[in-house]
C-alpha cells in the first residue's frame, strides 16, 4: 500500500478491535468529498476474525441505498460464484476499497463513476483498520481498483489475475480476480467468452480458498483448480 498517511486515519479510532465502533466512526468521515453525494457510507460486514476477506471497488447504487456491501446484482453473481467454489459465505468478510458510492447522473439514473487514486488513498485508513480487525488468512481483490491498493497503480489484472501472492503484511496471501460487475457487463454478449470468464472467476475463488482453513466440517480446499464445481 501507498506509504503516505491516509487522511481517513484522522477519523479511525485508535486501538479498537470493535467493528461496530469502526463503522460508526467511518460514518463521520469527511476525508474526501464522496460523502457529499452518497446516501450513506457502506462499511464492510462479516465475521471477525474471518479466514477470507473480499474487497470490491466501491458500493453500487443498490448498496448505497441499502447500506450494505454487495447486495445488488454484482453481489448476487458473487454469491453464486462463492457457492460454486464451495466457499462458506458466512465465513467471508466483504468490503470495498472505497466506502461511498461515486456516481454521475445520466437522465434519472446514477451511473457508477470510477474513484480517483486520491479517493482510494483517502479511504485506505478504513481498509487497513478492517484488515486489522478481520485478520484474514487470504485477501481476494475483486477487480483492479482493490488490487492497486496493495500492488500499486501498475497492477494489471490481465497480467497477474488468479495468482496467490505473498500477502505480507496484510494477510498470508492475496489474490486478485475479476470484479463481478465486469462479468455482469459481459452478459448478453459473446456467450462462450462469458462462460469462460465466469469459470475462471470461480476457479480463482477456489484457488484463494485453497490457502484457507474454513470452520465448516469437511471443507478444506486442496488442489482447487482441478476440483472446483463451475
Ligand atoms: N461493486 C462493488 O465493488 N462493491 C459493492 O459493494 C457492489 C458493487
Q: What's the CATH number where 136 sits?
A: 3.40.470.10
Q: Is the CB of 64 under 6 A from ligand 1?
A: no
Q: What is the pLDDT of residue 221?
A: 53
- Relative to beta strand 138-142, strand 52-56 is parallel
- Distance of CA 73 from the midpoint of ligand 1 (Å): 9
- Split at pLDDT 50, 70, 90, the class of 3 is low
pLDDT at 223 over 80: no
Whether ligand 1 lies within 6 angstroms of the CB of 57 is answered as yes
Distance from residue 5's CA to the centre of ligand 1 (Å) = 25
Instruction: Find the mean pLDDT for residues 211-227.
Output: 64
Residue 215 pLDDT grade (very low, low, confident, very high; cuts 50, 70, 90): confident
What's the predicted TM-score (pTM) here?
0.93
Residue 95: predicted pLDDT: 98
Q: From the alpha carbon of 75, which atom of ligand 1 is closest?
A: 7
Q: Which ligand 1 atom is the nearest neighbour of the CA of 145? A: 3
Q: Which three cell numbers stand for residue 107?
A: 437522465
The Cα–Cα gap between 127 and 141 comes to: 12
How many Å apart are CA 91 and CA 141, to the nearest integer?
16
- Decide if 196 is inside a domain: yes
Classify residue 226: in a domain, yes or no. no
pLDDT at 216: 65
Closest ligand 1 atom to residue 94 Cα is 6
**In the chain, helix, strand, coil percent, each to 5?**
40, 15, 45
User: Would you say residue 8 lies in a domain?
Assistant: no
Query: What mean pLDDT comes out for the span 142-157?
Result: 96
74 Cβ below 6 A of ligand 1: yes
For residue 141, pLDDT over 50 is answered with yes
Within-domain flag for 152: yes
The CA–CA distances, whole Å, from 169 to 166, 202, 207, 227 equal: 9, 26, 20, 30
* Reported confidence tier of residue 203, pLDDT bands at 50, 70, 90: very high
Question: What is the tally of structural domains in the chain?
Answer: 1
Choose which residue among 181, 183, 184, 201 to substitute to test ligand 1 binding: the one with the highest number of ligand atoms within 8 A of its C-beta: 181
Verify whether ligand 1 is closer than 6 Å to residue 210 (CB atom).
no
Is the pLDDT reported for residue 163 higher than 70? yes
Residue 224 lies in a domain: no
Q: For residue 25, tell me if it sits in a domain.
A: yes
Q: Is residue 69 within 6 Å of ligand 1 at its C-beta?
A: yes
How many angstroms does the Cα of residue 54 sit away from the middle of ligand 1? 10
Can you tell me the mean pLDDT for 104-123?
96
58-112 pLDDT per residue, tens: 999 999 999 999 999 999 999 999 999 999 999 999 999 999 999 999 999 999 9
Contact 194, 161 (CB under 8 A): no
Which one is predicted more confidently, 132 or 226?
A: 132
pLDDT for 218 equals 45
What pLDDT is stored for residue 225 in this prediction? 60
Beta carbon of 145 within 6 Å of any ligand 1 atom: no
Give the domain extent around 176.
14-212
> Angle at the Cα of 130 (from 31 to 4), degrees rounded to 5?
45
Query: Is residue 110 situated within a structural domain?
Result: yes
Torsion angles phi and psi, residue 64, rounded to 5 = -60, -35
pLDDT score, position 179: 98
In the reported structure, the alpha carbon of residue 136 is separated from the centroid of ligand 1 by a whole-number distance in angstroms of 19
Residue 121 lies in a domain: yes
Cα 172 → chain centroid = 17
How high does pLDDT run on average in the chain?
94
Amino acid at each position: 500500500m501507498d506509504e503516505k498517511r491516509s487522511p481517513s486515519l484522522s477519523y479511525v479510532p485508535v486501538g479498537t478491535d470493535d467493528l461496530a465502533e469502526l463503522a460508526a466512526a467511518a460514518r463521520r468521515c469527511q476525508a474526501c468529498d464522496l460523502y457529499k453525494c452518497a446516501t450513506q457510507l457502506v462499511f464492510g460486514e462479516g465475521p471477525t476474525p474471518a479466514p477470507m476477506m473480499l474487497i470490491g471497488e466501491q458500493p453500487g447504487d443498490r448498496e448505497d441505498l441499502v447500506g450494505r456491501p454487495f447486495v445488488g446484482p454484482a453481489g448476487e453473481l458473487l454469491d453464486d460464484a462463492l457457492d460454486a467454489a464451495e466457499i462458506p459465505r458466512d465465513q467471508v468478510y466483504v468490503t470495498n476499497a472505497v466506502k461511498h458510492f461515486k456516481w454521475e447522473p445520466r437522465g434519472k439514473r446514477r451511473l457508477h463513476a470510477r474513484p480517483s487514486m486520491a479517493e482510494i488513498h483517502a479511504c485506505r485508513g478504513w481498509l487497513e483498520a478492517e484488515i486489522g480487525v478481520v485478520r484474514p488468512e487470504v485477501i481476494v481483490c475483486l477487480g483492479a481498483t482493490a488490487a492497486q491498493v496493495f500492488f500499486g497503480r501498475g497492477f494489471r489484472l490481465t497480467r497477474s489475475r488468479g495468482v496467490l501472492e505473498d500477502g505480507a503484511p496484510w494477510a498470508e496471501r492475496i489474490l486478485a480476480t475479476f470484479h463481478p460487475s465486469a462479468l455482469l457487463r459481459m452478459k448478453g454478449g459473446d456467450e462462450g467468452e462469458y462462460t469462460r470468464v465466469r469459470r475462471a472467476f470461480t476457479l480463482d475463488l477456489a484457488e484463494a480458498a485453497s490457502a484457507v482453513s474454513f470452520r465448516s466440517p469437511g471443507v478444506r480446499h486442496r488442489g482447487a483448480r482441478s476440483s472446483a464445481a463451475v
